[in-house]
Structure 1
Amino acid sequence: MAEGDAAMPAAASSCEVDLGNLMAYDPSHHLAAAATSREELRQECLDKGAELAQAVANALFALPPSEDRDGPIVHLPPPTIRLPREKHLPKPKPPTKWELFAKAKGITKHKKNKREWDEQTQSWKRTYGYDRVNDDKDIPIIDAKATDEPGVDPFALRRQEKKKRVEKQEKNRLENLKKAAKLGALPSHIQLAAKALPVTGTKADLPKKSRKEDLENLPGEKPPKHPGKHRKFLPVAEGKGMGNLEKQQNDKILNSLLARNSEQLDVSKAITMYKVKKEKQRRKDKVMSSK
């Protein structure tokens, strides 16, 4: 159903119907007497709800239908009842420190134009950036001054001054980086999260662990915060030829628990332990005899 400008039909009963919201209500309804039990109150509410639903259905069938390829449809009238919002109205944001200062001083914000009229080229150009207004490359004539030296190209002098300004800005940027490095702060062009610094510190000494030779820690190097091996979890999807690893792991744990509390003798394990013990004793006797 779609909204339209059709008139809302009047309900036959005392119920008022709002077809725009598909809602019906009875403003004059009141309970005849106090309900003696919860079941009576529930039944009365169900009866009244059925009456209101029937009123909405009667009003819908009274609307003039229109033919469509999907079947007959009716256009709902606009809603007559304004439903309340789910959430409260948005509160205005508190003014910032600059907004309070600008209001006290009477400073008004003016939106800058992105394009301006260039008198030199007689065309509209960008205010800032490439091909902007009053660009140095678009100046055809430079007025001579009394302080100009003869034989000096004013255009070359203008380019040289711009080059000096760029070099000065780069020099200031490098000095700021040096000052930040002395204070232990990060440069402005490096953006790291708060949790990225300790992670970076713990991963600094990991490459030497992969080598066979045991290297000593460098002076001032901190030990790793998370020593030890990490747990190896089973894969989510087992590949071809891997077998049921989860079942094997569970069987191994179950067998170890049963063997711990079992009084049965493992013959093969006992023989192996006896052979190992006998071999150790033989080596010990051999060392003593050689002395």
Structure 2
Amino acid sequence: MDIVNEILEKEQKKSEKYKPITVEKHLEVELDLGTLLAFDTNDLDTKLLQSNKDDYLQSLTRDNTQLLLNKIWELPTERVDEAIVVKLPEPKTVLPRAKPCPKPKPLTKWQEFAKSKGITKKKKDKLQWDEQLQKWVPLYGFKKAAAEKEKNWLIEVPQNLDPMTDMFEKKASEKSEKVAKNELQRLKNIARARKVKIPRVGLPVTSDKASASQLDTAATIAKASTASLGKFQDKLPKEKEPRGKGIHELIPGKERKRKLPIPTPAQERENNLNMLDNILNKRPKIDMDKAVAKHIHDEQVNRSEEKKNSKPAKGKRNFKAKTKGGNPTNFTAKKPKAGKGQRNPAKKAGGRKRR
């Protein structure tokens, strides 16, 4: 009996190590089986969290994981190669991406041409029947190269070539040139996709292909090649003064503008204060002649307006002549008109008095 009791005690101790598969929560845990996620919205026990943080979080994680596994075992299972497989449902939670979505690769030059012409890619066979060897030969790979060596063990030299030409070496060089051409085309496609400017290769830089800066440099060198280093050379229409880095090497007589030494903190502070004083004490430039003329004109305009608006005083006669300009001294060269035979005693006749 003692042995039986010992065995039962051991089994009981083992069972105490493992927690039950049933977990009770105040609020149900939200589960997303598609992404194997569990959202626990229950409140945390602050006392246990402060007293024994690691054990509390570990037990909480264990309970939520147990609920997730219980839900997974409720799904329909099937056996595949002596293994039990469960098909998960569609995920409900959208997980953010760690990196941006991949952009589609840009089309190569041939792909753009094929798309514009409607050329579709056809699936080719991997093997091809060779009539000379009487067997199936792959279209690529090491077996293709071995078949080519077996078939072309002898190559005829054409009549237009040197009879001592090694045709095998020439064929190998042509193949390497094709490989290099394909690699160059691949690099061009990559540069064109990344919008990188490709320099011109294989063409001499002539006058019709030279850039504006190259033409300016050539003109500067030609002008400085005279005995006076271009000092008395006539300028072209709309020609600019040569400037920029390296101009002193092209024109030896050109004066070099020396750089000022780096100022000390005291000098820099003094320069800044002087600049600030100049800005604050700056007075606007005044044209004295223009200002005086404007002042005189304004006075004349005001005086004429005052004369127009003023009324004559009572008891005084207004000797203002009724002339066109209103000026009493506006005499003319015409003779004064007389009464012309009609005398009016109430009206004084004009004209000159005879003595």
- TM (norm. structure 1) is 0.31
Greater relative contact order structure (CA < 8 Å, 6+ sep)? 1
Pair member with larger Rg:
2
